[in-house]
Chains A and B, each alone.
Chain A
């Protein structure tokens, strides 16, 4: 529906330009369409980032309200998903700061974050509940313990299939940092999965 369209000026608009124009005009139909299309990805992103499920719905609500309020600032040059996730990320960081005084500042590239257990709730992690394959089940516990920045990078690369450049825009970190987070995250999970294989 939003692939390409001819605007009144006669120029072909890309999907992101159409979205930007719709956001500026506060087009209700477009906003509803965006919610339907991106909701699952947004929920998944926030679950991966927070490592918990209980606050995700509130943050999702807040994220969409920010999209409406700040729609004019989206210029359509970067993918909408990257912009949406960047808003969600900032809100999630604010939430964590309010709750625990955790520093997850996107401008802090020292890779130092709060311990992951600081951010998780009691009971089975959302990853254990969402695991649908044996290997995913084996990874669930390790994912829950992994620091949010690594989980986030892995999700954006392998589930959302964003390029390193797009991830860089989303998380506000340089491409080499993104690359390093992906490799470190993978290395930790690889060790876990190999350990599980040997144990079984």
Chain B
């Protein structure tokens, strides 16, 4: 189907608003518009609308920037505090894990002496140590990094944060 020359020109006018036309397209547009009053009018009215769109002037409320800066600063402080808490929890967790590991190793090494002192077999004492010292210590160490998240969740649930 052959596209009407006026239709084609208007498509080119519309296209020129979004992308740069090729040299050939520019030439074809210029040649036709010069000799066609309706297409001239179409181009002029399009340019008028585009120019009119530039005739709106909006203003920023005078205190908006200051209020945005303030809110951003507060949020930055809060995020910094959260990061510090997270880092400190991670360090505590690592320290606790290390101490648990070292303490447990020492006690484990001394289990023969301790078993004799407590009148138990070394195996019994080791089982006891495993259940009441080593396992709980390791579990607590693993929970440490999740404490800030749990606290935040609790605060959110209670509506402490928006």
- Enumerate chain A interface residues (CB-CB to B < 8 A): 26, 28, 31-32, 35-36, 39-40, 43-44, 47, 57, 60-61, 64-65, 68-69, 126-127, 130-133, 135-140, 154-155, 157-159, 164, 178-179, 182-183, 186, 189-190, 193-194
Identify which of A132, A178, A183 gathers the most chain B CB atoms within 10 Å of its CB.
Answer: A183
- Beyond known contacts A157-B17, A158-B54, A193-B48: 15 more, CB 8 A cutoff: A26-B76, A28-B72, A28-B73, A31-B76, A43-B58, A44-B56, A127-B56, A131-B56, A132-B56, A133-B55, A136-B55, A139-B53, A154-B53, A189-B52, A193-B52
Chain B's closest residue to A175 (CB) is B18
A135 contact from B48, B64, B76, Cβ within 8 A: B48
Interface of A is mostly: helix
Give chain B interface residues in 38-59, CB to chain A under 8 Å: 45-46, 48-59
Asked if B131 is at the interface (CB within 8 A of a chain A CB), the reply is no
Chain A's closest residue to B83 (CB) is A26
Q: How far is the CB of A183 from chain B (nearest CB, A)?
A: 5
Interface size counted on chain B using CB atoms at 8 A: 32
Please tell me if the beta carbons of A183 and B14 are within 8 angstroms of each other in the complex.
yes
Given contacts A31-B72, A57-B61, A186-B49, contact A68 B79 (CB under 8 A): yes
Please tell me if the beta carbons of B68 and A135 are within 8 angstroms of each other in the complex.
no
Please tell me if the beta carbons of B58 and A35 are within 8 angstroms of each other in the complex.
no
Please tell me if the beta carbons of B55 and A182 are within 8 angstroms of each other in the complex.
no
Given contacts A68-B72, A68-B76, A164-B18, contact A159 B54 (CB under 8 A): yes
CA distance A137 to B51 in the complex (A): 12
Q: What residues on A are CB-neighbors of B58 within 8 Å?
A: 40, 43-44, 47, 126, 130
Please tell me if the beta carbons of A61 and B71 are within 8 angstroms of each other in the complex.
yes
CA distance A182 to B46 in the complex (A): 12
Given contacts A36-B65, A39-B60, A65-B72, contact A193 B55 (CB under 8 A): no
CA distance A178 to B19 in the complex (A): 12
Q: What residues on B are CB-neighbors of A139 within 8 Å?
A: 49, 52-53, 55
The 8 residue pairs across chains A and B that have the minimum distance between CB atoms: A136-B55, A133-B55, A135-B52, A130-B56, A44-B58, A189-B49, A158-B53, A132-B57
Please tell me if the beta carbons of A158 and B55 are within 8 angstroms of each other in the complex.
no
Q: What residues on A are CB-neighbors of B17 within 8 Å?
A: 157-158, 182-183, 186
Chain B's closest residue to A27 (CB) is B76
Asked if B158 is at the interface (CB within 8 A of a chain A CB), the reply is no
What 1/0 mask marks residues of chain B from 61 to 98 whose CB sits below 8 Å from any chain A CB? 10011011101110110011000000000000000000
CA distance A28 to B71 in the complex (A): 12
Please tell me if the beta carbons of A43 and B60 are within 8 angstroms of each other in the complex.
yes
Q: What residues on A are CB-neighbors of B73 within 8 Å?
A: 28
CA distance A183 to B46 in the complex (A): 10
Q: What residues on B are CB-neighbors of A43 within 8 Å?
A: 58-60, 64
CA distance A32 to B70 in the complex (A): 10
B68 contact from A60, A69, A155, A159, Cβ within 8 A: A60
Please tell me if the beta carbons of A179 and B52 are within 8 angstroms of each other in the complex.
no
Please tell me if the beta carbons of B72 and A39 are within 8 angstroms of each other in the complex.
no
Q: How far is the CB of B52 from chain A (nearest CB, A)?
A: 4
CA distance A47 to B61 in the complex (A): 13
Q: How far is the CB of A170 from chain B (nearest CB, A)?
A: 15
Q: What residues on A are CB-neighbors of B46 within 8 Å?
A: 186, 190
B55 contact from A31, A39, A47, A132, Cβ within 8 A: A132
